[in-house]
Amino acid sequence: MNKVYICFPQGKHKALTMSYDDGKEEDRRLVKIFNQHGIKGTFHINSGIRDQVRIPFEEYAGLYEGHEIACHTLTHPTIERCPLEKVVYEVLEDRKRLEKLTGMPVRGLSYPNGSYNEEIKRLLPALGIRYSRIVGDTHDFKLPTDYYEWKATCHHNNNLLEDGKRFVELNKKQYLYLMYVWGHSYEFSRDDNWEVMEQFCRLVGGRDDIWYTTNIGFVDYMERAKGLQFGADNTFVYNPYAASVFLSVNDRIVEAKGGELTRFE
């Protein structure tokens, strides 16, 4: 029987995603660094907080082009302490405002103040939210098992370069690896350590064995991979989605194109 493995796009086995909160003015410099190295970021915004240190709405379309804008709730309350009606309002109103700015569905979240509970997790799918990031670091590269309690590999102030070096050295293609970095862009100015992110992006950027993606890009791809329909004898696959999924079939990279039946030769 054929040996079939799920791969990331173009047959890659490593993925990188970045996740930054609050939408403050330092995002301009952070996005520029990402763009220089072909790295994708997800930016979680509180659309109900407007002050002089946050990116103006009119800059969103240009600044965040090619990246993801996601929710961080409307006003950044500690939602575990709030009535569920308040949680619904905070998430849905943030989504609606951000969608008016982007013209696209907004389906991601990071919990404000890292605050959440099981009730909130169960609520989020009905609010159109497909994933939410929690605080804390794993310092590993395992794939998430619960997208509503998604813990990153590391904060940029917590062994970023060390974890990055281990990540680029991974070479066992029988596994899939994800490095997920989180933080707040204003922390670089506060801590005077922009060079940490610049060094990291030089280290991991522009590599042909890494898939650079947003949080929602990763979730969507893995859902497509999970939804592939394989023949019982493992000689073909049907992809019911519009976009491709890549497979390793007997160590050969195969593209399962959207809406097509792909036979393994």
pLDDT digits (tens, 9 = 90+) for 29-73: 999 999 999 999 999 999 999 999 999 999 999 999 999 999 999
- Residue 265 — pLDDT band, cuts 50, 70, 90? confident
| Distance in angstroms (rounded) separating the CA atoms of residues 227 and 210 | 23
| Distance in angstroms (rounded) separating the CA atoms of residues 144 and 151 | 8
pLDDT-above-70 percentage for the chain: 100
Domain residue extents for the chain: 16-212, 227-263
Q: Per-residue b/e over 226-250, b at no fewer than 16 CB within 10 Å?
A: eebeeeeeeeebebebeebbbbbbe
- Residue 7 — pLDDT band, cuts 50, 70, 90? very high
What's the pTM value of the predicted model, to 2 decimals?
A: 0.97
The pLDDT tens digits for 63-95 are: 999 999 999 999 999 999 999 999 999 999 999
Write the CB contacts of 50 (distance below 8 Å, at least 6 apart in sequence).
none
Backbone angles phi, psi at 202, to 5 degrees: -65, -35
Residue 54 exposure: Cα atoms within 13 Å on the Cβ side:
15
pLDDT-above-90 percentage for the chain: 98
Read off the tokens for 122: 């169960």
The pLDDT tens digits for 226-242 are: 999 999 999 999 999 99
CATH class of 16-212: alpha beta
The helix-helix angle for 160-169 and 194-204 (nearest 10°) equals 0
* Mean pLDDT taken over the chain: 97
